[in-house]
Amino acid sequence: MAHQVIISGTTGSPPYEIQVCDITNTYCYLVSSGETIPPAYTFYVPPPLDVVDSFLIKIIDSNGCERFELLTCPIDNKMFEDGIFFLFEDGVEYIFEG
């Protein structure tokens, strides 16, 4: 499930461009352009970053100033499977019967 992000305020001069980037800031994906914050802006992290645990939110203001925020959000229900055992992120182990 994709992460939902809510931005309720930022510094700089509107309008803003909002991007989601990998933690190395190598790959960035445009979320929105021309936003004014506040009011709050809500979005879901776009693919392929919707399945990672950590990503950057990059906000660029009308003067070209950039602000970065690192977000770390564990994804629920990741599953490890080796054919016999299932191990969920909550640490509960399940035995595969079959």
- Predicted confidence pLDDT, tens digits, the chain (98 residues): 577 888 888 888 889 999 999 999 999 999 999 888 777 888 888 888 888 888 999 999 999 999 888 888 765 544 444 444 444 555 454 444 44
**Domains in the chain, number:** 1
Place of tokens 């499977």: 81
Domain that holds residue 66: 4-95
Q: Extract the tokens encoding 1.
A: 């499930």
**How far is the C-alpha of 16 from the C-alpha of 93, rounded, in Å?**
45
